[in-house]
C-alpha cells in the first residue's frame, strides 16, 4: 500500500496543489531571477517528447527548422506599431553592454516576427521562392509580473513558425493546417487533452494579426488554458519589412505571412488537465517512462527477474525504467505515482513463485496479475487503454462543465467553475467588457457544432467564454 503523497488536495487549494506537483514530481524550480525557471531532468524529458512529437508534425507540413538571434534591434519593433504596442509592457531591453552604453537599445526577443521579417525580405525575390516555411525552437523573454512555473514565466521555451505566401488564401490555409495537423492533433492524440478550437476575438488577437486561431483546453479546476495559437498576419509585417515578390506577370506584390507557436505552457496543461491528488498522470504517448519495473523488496532473485523484464520490455520498444531506489516499497511506489508513470510492473516473492507480474495502472489504480509470458503484450494493451481513457475522462469532464447559455449574466455565472457557450452576436463590445469586468474572457469563437469557422463573418457563431490562466 502506497504511503500518502503529502500533496495539497485539489479541492482544498488548486494553485497550491499545482505547485506541490511541480516540486514533488521534480519538474522545475524557480530560477535565481524572478520569473525564470530551472527545468529539472524529468520536466525537460517531458519537453523533449513534446518537441519530438510536434517537430515531426511541423516537418510533415513542409516547414524547415532555422535559428534567429536572441537580440533584436529596437528599431525593428518600431516598424510595426500595433505589434510594439501589444508587447511593450513585456519587453526586456538591453541598454548597456561591453562596458558602454549601446548606440541603439537591443530587445531580448519576445517573439521573432520582426527579425525573421527582415531576413525574409532578403531571401524572397520572386513567386518561385514561395511559400517560405520556417520554424525555430528557441527561448523567449516576456517580463511577467505574476509568474507561475510553466504557465507564465519571464523566460520560456517554445517553437515559433513563420511563413510567407503569395496569396491571402494560401496563408490562411497554411495557418489552418498548422492548427489542425500539428497543434490539435498533438494536443488531442498525444497529450490527451480535448480542446475548443476557434478564432480569437479582435481584442484577444495576437498584436498585429488579422486573425488568430486557438486551441483552448479546460483544466481540472474549470479554467481555460490557451495551449497553442496560429496567426494570419496579412500583409502588415510584409509592408513593414519589405517582404515582397515578383509575381508571374512581373508585378511586385507584398507577401502574406503567418506565425504560430506552442510553448512549455503545454507542460502546465498536462499537469492541470490530468493530475489528481496523488500527483501527475502522464499519457503513455508522451511519457519518457511509460512503465517502471519494481521489486517489492531487496532480493537477488527479484532483482534478476526485474532486470530481465526490463530488458524484454525495452526490446519490444516500450519506454521502460528499472526502479533502483532504496527504501520502503510504499515510498518508492508513491514517488513513481507522483511522477505519473502510466504503468507499474511489480514483482514480489509470490509473483516469482507463480511466474506472474502485477501490473498497476496509474490512471484508475486497477491491478492485475499477469502470466510472465503475457506481460509484454498486456503492457502494450494497457498503455493504449490508459491513453484512450485519459482523453475520454477529460472530454467527459469538459462536457459536464460546459453550458450553453443565452445571456451575458448566465455566461458569467457558468464561467465561475467551467465554460459557457453564448451566441457571439449577443455579446458585442459591451458584452465582452462585462465579461472582462468579472475576470471572464472570450476564449474562442466557433461554429455551433464546435468546428472552426471559415471566416469571422459567418452567422450564428458561438463564443466560448471562461476564466483563464
- Tell whether 81 and 50 lie within a shared domain: yes
C-alpha cell of 129? 521562392
- Tell whether 267 and 317 lie within a shared domain: no
> Bridge partners of 155?
141
Q: Which of 223, 222, 220, 199 is nearest to 211 (CA)?
A: 199
Question: What pLDDT, on a 0 to 100 scale, did the predictor assign at position 84?
Answer: 64
Three-state secondary structure call for residue 234? coil
Q: In this structure, is residue 438 part of a structural domain?
A: yes
Q: In this structure, is residue 396 part of a structural domain?
A: no
Residue owning grid cell 468546428 = 451
Q: In this structure, is residue 389 part of a structural domain?
A: no
State how far the Cα of 6 lies from the Cα of 169, in Å rounded to an integer. Answer: 54
> Bridge partners of 260?
161, 230
Q: In this structure, is residue 345 part of a structural domain?
A: yes
Q: How many CA atoms lie within 13 A of 393 on its CB side?
A: 17
- Tell whether 316 and 262 lie within a shared domain: no
Q: In this structure, is residue 3 part of a structural domain?
A: no
Cis preceding linkage at 228, omega within 30: no
The domain boundary, picked from 358, 384, 410, lies at 384
C-alpha cell of 147? 509568474
C-alpha cell of 88? 511593450
State how far the Cα of 19 lies from the Cα of 110, in Å rounded to an integer. Answer: 25
User: Domain containing 211: what range?
Assistant: 14-274
State how far the Cα of 444 lies from the Cα of 124, in Å rounded to an integer. Answer: 34
Task: Provide the number of structural domains found in the chain.
Answer: 3
- Tell whether 96 and 234 lie within a shared domain: yes
pLDDT tens, 424-469?
Answer: 999 988 999 999 999 999 999 999 999 999 998 899 999 999 999 9
Q: In this structure, is residue 285 part of a structural domain?
A: no
CATH number at residue 323: 3.40.50.800
pLDDT tens, 228-255?
Answer: 999 999 999 999 999 999 999 999 999 9
382: phi then psi, degrees, rounded to nearest 5: -65, -40
Residues lower than pLDDT 70 in the chain:
1-5, 81, 83-84, 86
Q: In this structure, is residue 405 part of a structural domain?
A: yes
pTM for this one? 0.95
CATH number at residue 53: 3.30.930.10
Question: What pLDDT, on a 0 to 100 scale, did the predictor assign at position 86?
Answer: 67
Region at 98 (left for phi over 0; alpha for psi -120 to 50; beta for the rest): left
The domain boundary, picked from 330, 350, 384, lies at 384
258: phi then psi, degrees, rounded to nearest 5: -135, 160
State how far the Cα of 154 lies from the Cα of 33, in Å rounded to an integer. Answer: 9
- Tell whether 249 and 318 lie within a shared domain: no
Q: In this structure, is residue 62 part of a structural domain?
A: yes
> Bridge partners of 295?
347
Q: Which of 158, 391, 195 is nearest to 283 (CA)?
A: 391
The dihedral through the CA atoms of 306, 307, 312, 315 has a sign that is: positive
74: phi then psi, degrees, rounded to nearest 5: -60, -35
Contact status, residue 256 vs residue 165, Cβ threshold 8 Å: yes
- Tell whether 158 and 30 lie within a shared domain: yes
- Tell whether 298 and 436 lie within a shared domain: no
CATH number at residue 434: 3.30.110.30
The domain boundary, picked from 274, 306, 330, lies at 274
Q: How many CA atoms lie within 13 A of 35 on its CB side?
A: 14
- Tell whether 58 and 156 lie within a shared domain: yes
- Tell whether 94 and 186 lie within a shared domain: yes
- Tell whether 119 and 166 lie within a shared domain: yes
CB atoms within 10 A of CB 67: 10
- Tell whether 249 and 297 lie within a shared domain: no
267: phi then psi, degrees, rounded to nearest 5: -70, -40
Contact status, residue 462 vs residue 424, Cβ threshold 8 Å: yes
Question: What pLDDT, on a 0 to 100 scale, did the predictor assign at position 429?
Answer: 85
- Tell whether 212 and 241 lie within a shared domain: yes
Amino acid at each position: 500500500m502506497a504511503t500518502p503523497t503529502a500533496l495539497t488536495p485539489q479541492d482544498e487549494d488548486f494553485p497550491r496543489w499545482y505547485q506541490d506537483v511541480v516540486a514533488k514530481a521534480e519538474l522545475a524550480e524557480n530560477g535565481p531571477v524572478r520569473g525564470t525557471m530551472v527545468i529539472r531532468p524529468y520536466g525537460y524529458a517531458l519537453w523533449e517528447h513534446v518537441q519530438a512529437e510536434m517537430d515531426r508534425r511541423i516537418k510533415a507540413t513542409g516547414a524547415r527548422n532555422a535559428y534567429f538571434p536572441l537580440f533584436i534591434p529596437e528599431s525593428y519593433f518600431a516598424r510595426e506599431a500595433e505589434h510594439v504596442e501589444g508587447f511593450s509592457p513585456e519587453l526586456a531591453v538591453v541598454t548597456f553592454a561591453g562596458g558602454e552604453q549601446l548606440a541603439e537599445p537591443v530587445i531580448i526577443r519576445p517573439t521573432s516576427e520582426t527579425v525573421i521579417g527582415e531576413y525574409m525580405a532578403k531571401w524572397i525575390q520572386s513567386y518561385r521562392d514561395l511559400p517560405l516555411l520556417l520554424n525555430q525552437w528557441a527561448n523567449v523573454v516576456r517580463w511577467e509580473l505574476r509568474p507561475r512555473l510553466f504557465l507564465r514565466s519571464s523566460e520560456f521555451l517554445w517553437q515559433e513558425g513563420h511563413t510567407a505566401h503569395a496569396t491571402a488564401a494560401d496563408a490562411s490555409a497554411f495557418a489552418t493546417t498548422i492548427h489542425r495537423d500539428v497543434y490539435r492533433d498533438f494536443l488531442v492524440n498525444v497529450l490527451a487533452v480535448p480542446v475548443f478550437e476557434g478564432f480569437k476575438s479582435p481584442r484577444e488577437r495576437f498584436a498585429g494579426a488579422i486573425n488568430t486561431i486557438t486551441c483552448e483546453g479546460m483544466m481540472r479546476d474549470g479554467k481555460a488554458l490557451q495551449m497553442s495559437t496560429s496567426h494570419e498576419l496579412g500583409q502588415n509585417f510584409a509592408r513593414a519589412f519589405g517582404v515582397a515578390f515578383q509575381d508571374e506577370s512581373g508585378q511586385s506584390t507584398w507577401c502574406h505571412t503567418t506565425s504560430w507557436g506552442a510553448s512549455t505552457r503545454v507542460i502546465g496543461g498536462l499537469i492541470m488537465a490530468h493530475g489528481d491528488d496523488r500527483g501527475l498522470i502522464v499519457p503513455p504517448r508522451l511519457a519518457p517512462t511509460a512503465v517502471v519495473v519494481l521489486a517489492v523488496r531487496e532480493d537477488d532473485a527479484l532483482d534478476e527477474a526485474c532486470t530481465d523484464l526490463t530488458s524484454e520490455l525495452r526490446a519490444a520498444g516500450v519506454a521502460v525504467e528499472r526502479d533502483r531506489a532504496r527504501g520502503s516499497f510504499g515510498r518508492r511506489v508513491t514517488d513513481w505515482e507522483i511522477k505519473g508513470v502510466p504503468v507499474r510492473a511489480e514483482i514480489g516473492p509470490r509473483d516469482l513463485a507463480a511466474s506472474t507480474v502485477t501490473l498497476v495502472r496509474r490512471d484508475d489504480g486497477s491491478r492485475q496479475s499477469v502470466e510472465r509470458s503475457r506481460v509484454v503484450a498486456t503492457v502494450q494493451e494497457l498503455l493504449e487503454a490508459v491513453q484512450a481513457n485519459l482523453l475520454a475522462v477529460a472530454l467527459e469532464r469538459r462536457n459536464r462543465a460546459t453550458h450553453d447559455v443565452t445571456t451575458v449574466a448566465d455566461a458569467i455565472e457558468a464561467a465561475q467553475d467551467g465554460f459557457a457557450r453564448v451566441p457571439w452576436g449577443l455579446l458585442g463590445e459591451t458584452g465582452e467588457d462585462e465579461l472582462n469586468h468579472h475576470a471572464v474572457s472570450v476564449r474562442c469563437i466557433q461554429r455551433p457544432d464546435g468546428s472552426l469557422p471559415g471566416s469571422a463573418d459567418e452567422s450564428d457563431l458561438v463564443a466560448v467564454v471562461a476564466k483563464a490562466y
